[in-house]
Amino acid sequence: MTQQEQFNEQGHDGNSEKQQLDELIELVSKLLPVTSVQYPKLDNEDGEPVANFCVRHSALHFTKTAGQLAAIAEAMDHGAVMNQSDLTKVAVNSLINSCKLASEIGISSSDLIQGINQKFGR
């Protein structure tokens, strides 16, 4: 039996995962709308497309989140105990960043699931 068949046999047909991912992307999009109220730079005179702004701003958030993870890892290298709460915040922020970027540039949940499957040769 292939990995895909085993995965499907366990009740993972992809439909429920897609629905959950759709709901998550929609939730993040509603909680973090792209308007000039949240992002005053959208009203600048240079006429930059909103999608370009969103990609750049997402890069800043991904970098900020990676820095949080790096700070935790670096502290652990010096003897700090792993803090599950801090790591959960980083994981949540990473997921939010991914959902927000997908929503802003039109990447569907199907595209994300397909990309994951391709990455792992499924």
Cα distance between residue 92 and residue 18, in whole Å: 18
For 47-89, what is each residue's pLDDT tens digit?
778 999 999 999 999 999 999 999 999 999 999 999 999 999 9
Cα distance between residue 3 and residue 116, in whole Å: 14
Cα distance between residue 80 and residue 102, in whole Å: 35
Burial class (CB in 10 A: 0-12, 13-18, 19+), 102: buried
Cα distance between residue 100 and residue 24, in whole Å: 10
Query: Which residue would you say has higher pLDDT here, 36 or 5?
Result: 36
Amino acid at the residue 82 = M
What's residue 47's pLDDT? 73
Cα distance between residue 28 and residue 98, in whole Å: 10
Cα distance between residue 118 and residue 120, in whole Å: 5
What's residue 115's pLDDT? 95
What's residue 2's pLDDT? 63
For 9-56, what is each residue's pLDDT tens digit?
665 566 889 999 999 999 999 999 999 899 988 876 577 789 999 999
Kindly give, in sequence order, each residue whose CB lies less than 8 Å from that of residue 26, ignoring residues fewer than 6 positions away: 103
What's residue 13's pLDDT? 60
Cα distance between residue 50 and residue 72, in whole Å: 33
What's residue 81's pLDDT? 98
